Structure 1
């Protein structure tokens, strides 16, 4: 790859073609912004920048618009990388930052209307089932080999990306290019959990060692133990909370549950990256990958006993062990709360918040720059079985719509490759800590920085990483189905409905969408084909999901030592 890139730059000079002035901007960018923080040598960085200058020449003066959700990584792209790309290539980029729900809404509108709202989207790979079935986005495998070949970076190195399995359809085609990834993990106050007095008090109360909870029973014990506890004897607040969550009736509430809460409870089937035939949305597919039901009466699990257990536990813990304000918070508002120093643990914490949790002035940081907290695998519920999905990994990924004119798609594809390039990725990851490349994760820089990131690097270097995955292909239309979750789950958390009533309504609404898609026939042989309804007891008596209610939904609590866990990852 290096030789090919160097040759591209050398040819234009050898033929007497004037070097585009953008290389001056590129050199300034490498000096002032990258500053050596790249997995590439300076020589190879310059060669990669020269390739972008040459490839962008036909599009000089074009103005394009792209969009993403608002997280630290995308703020860095919009505020730093987009202006740099514009200066280097002459392509003016407007990178809009909006809410994740709004990104999905804009994409859905473009799909339905054919109007080119944005020239490229960074949307979650959760939409892979939608993109594969509707065929309204350019599959990048064919794009890079055909129409987009002249604007595809020879140094892109797809094999270096860690998330392409999430953005590849069952047809083997790549539909999206990962831009940022983060996982949901367990977060806890390592300093409190390893304090001798705290450990002694916990063991006296519960009869086993305080540690990382392996199951929900242990998580609940720990939540109860810390809630209201005076931690001032080791410099903490005089009253703390044993759990953190959020419950506002907002689109982000739905993600909390489709993003693996239900699979961690044990609702779906065994199978990685997603349960098969029943996934973490409770949707069952047949042998042809056609969705056949969501309610138990059709073989789905969205309103199954395991799903009811999942929602019931979340509601109980939110009410009993979380700060009172948490019930009125959304994803973004709740993310910063653990850093304020009053929370002992959070079962489902997104690593996207790592960058905002390591500021030296925070009460959760030590004076030497190391955190007082750590991250570990989330515990699982009583219905969970070995071999099931254990957590969610977000993979925000570049998507090119078919409705985008080719020249605009090419210009946008150049920008997408620029912000994910090897020249840029190490610096971008240093800012946002949302890793997409193996070379970045394994760099010397992150070996040196690992001790200050609370286990993030150890997680991403471990084989455990492979067991965290986004929504899979059982979900045929993410935009239509995702909006049903937050409204119905919100009814359960607010007390307007019981968990069973809310989930009965949710699965019925999901099936109405599946029925409409089946009648419309827009997905052909890949679309839903609903099963006939049967007595739910029939399906509850079959192997796998949906699972019959257990006589006892409490299990023996299990914890593990965090330090031993990290050793096992390193081995």
Structure 2
């Protein structure tokens, strides 16, 4: 089966049908024939019925021109280049779907929040901002919107419960603020072929006394990183120097994601809880029983500069320096992403499944001739402070967000487009293109059962109960744009050696508390905004159960591995 984007004459012609005169079922049928086929969780009759609903609901807005925006990844490129022209042809609503950098999306959103000027009619905005949106109340909460003002443009086949990331976009008030349109997790990546090689297995067992396999904890990850770095793998046809770890360390905004995307929770810094630790989350921010942020530093009950956080940063720097390609320390997120697929990296703990599509191209050195990958993905190992019931990784959930400042008619038209690109009609095909799953019905589709062995464990992960332990930034973070920029600046000082990890994290938590203090003084978030605790002797908090946790005498735990095939069986 060919899952690549089709460029048939019929589909190309859809992009020219921008006139409302073409807003009918003929355009819809042409789109379904050319692009969707049987790659849908709906039957053809159900697809046509869903398209007819869009045609009817869009009539009052036919001829309207709207603008929406998202970051530039494969999934959104597909929406912009294929689904937006199709939507225009089918409904008569002209959509311009801009693709810009992730930081630029947040900047535009911030500007609209602060000025009230309607820059875009719809945003694909990471659910990392859920705490921001819930507190500022500047986006339409979709629960009330779908039942009230937007009821006439809410599809009866939307099936909101089919979205697997809905808990990520729900505030503490139980309201849904955003609609996921793509999701990808941050998992462990490794060379399955190298790990199953008899010589590698025997040599590893002889040196370390246990079996080479998927590392369950950081101690095992470190041993494996040491084992493969500089190892001669010429018996497997591997040329050039081999490394046991891949990461990036340039002082750049993307360095912040490296840490706010749950590195601390993987180490075990925060508290137990799903989708995020409570009362202390993976940013080290503590909230009270009213969900008000009360501190980030240990002296106020936070954990951003706690022993577990210092351990997390120390290990990342150590592994970057000892076991990674020398150029990695000067790389950004986007520069480092393609490196494992070039064939000389044994494993990477911090690997986004958004790279899957680029890592399964047939001509890559990490692919077999039969189209199966030489690599696999698995759950990330956890650090020594981690306990059962804690979050163990990050999941990105780019989600449709409607601002309160957008006029109602424009918001309704944008909501129709948001539902179209997430509809059951198109979602299976969209998922095959970008490999970013949002619907349970898509994950379970037969076409993904057929394709699973070509995707290195992605399908198995999303079909497993393990996926709930991976989640985006949660509601403890009251202003994501203001706080996120503090991370790369401060941790960059630790990565460069300008400060020790402890010094950098002390500065980071102090900076976070200054922002929390300003928000508290301004009172703009009302009775759910920050309310800082008085500072106390850190020992007061370190001696209590949960986070922040006191320093362990021994941070080198007994290494544990598991055979990948056994792991997959446990999921099933």
**Counterpart pick for 1:403 among 405, 413, 420:** 405
Q: 2:484 — aligned with what?
A: 482
Aligned to 1:471: 473
Aligned residues: 553
2:12 counterpart residue number? none
Question: Does 1:242 find its partner at 2:244?
Answer: yes
Per the alignment, residue 148 of structure 1 pairs with 150
SS state of the match for residue 184, structure 2? strand
Consecutive unaligned residues of structure 2, counting only runs of 5 or more, are 1-19
- Answering whether residue 96 of structure 2 is matched by residue 97 of structure 1, we say no
Q: Alpha-carbon deviations, 1:304-346, whole Å to 9, x = none? A: 1110110010011111111112112222221111111111000
- What's 1:79 paired with? 81
**8 A Cα contact 1:274 1:469, kept in partner:** yes
Tell me how far 1:83 sits from its aligned partner: 1.2
Equivalent residue number for residue 342 of structure 2: 340
Tell me the equivalent position of 2:202: 200
Residue of 473, 482, 500 corresponding to 1:498: 500
Q: Name the Cα RMSD after superposition.
A: 1.2
Other-structure match for 2:55 = 53
Partner of 1:533: 535
TM-score when scaled to structure 1?
Answer: 0.95
Deviation at 1:21, TM superposition (A): 4.1
Distance (whole Å) between structure 1 residues aligned to residue 498 and residue 236 of structure 2: 41
**Correspondence for 1:109:** 111
What is the Cα deviation at residue 381 of structure 1? 0.7
Secondary structure at 1:165 match in 2 = helix
Give 1:229 deviation, angstroms: 1.1
Contact 1:237/1:341, CA 8 A, preserved across alignment: no
**Residue 37 of structure 1, CA deviation:** 1.1
Contact 1:225 1:242 in 2 (8 A): yes
Deviations 1:473-515 (A, max 9, x none): 1111111111111111111111111111110110000000000
Stretch deviating more after TM superposition (180-189 or 59-68)? 59-68
**Alignment equivalent of 2:418, drawn from 406, 416, 419:** 416
2:509 match: secondary structure: helix
Structure 1 residues 318-327 or 343-352, which shifts more?
A: 318-327
1:361 to 344, 360, 363: 363
Q: What are the residue-to-residue correspondences of 1:17-416 with 2, within 5 Å?
A: 21-416=23-418
1:351 Cα offset (Å): 0.6
CA distance in structure 1 between the aligned counterparts of 2:117 and 2:399, rounded to whole angstroms: 21
- Give me the whole-angstrom Cα distance separating, in 2, the residues matched to 1:115 and 1:202: 61
Of residues 455, 469, 491, the one that matches 1:453 is 455
Provide the rounded CA distance (Å) in 1 between the counterparts of 2:334 and 2:90.
33
Q: Deviations over 1:423-474 (max 9, x none)?
A: 0000000001100001110011101110111111111111111111111111
How far did 1:23 drift?
2.0
Q: Distance in 1 between matches of 2:104 and 2:240?
A: 40
Give, in whole Å, the separation in 1 of the partners of 2:23 and 2:399: 31
Per-residue deviation, 1:19: 9.4
Q: TM-score when scaled to structure 2?
A: 0.95
Q: 1:200 to 1:415 in 2, by over 3 A?
A: same
Measure, in 2, the Cα distance between the counterparts of 1:21 and 1:119. Answer: 21
Supply the distance in 2 between the matched residues of 1:253 and 1:339 (Cα, whole angstroms): 21
SS at structure 2 position matched to 1:314: helix
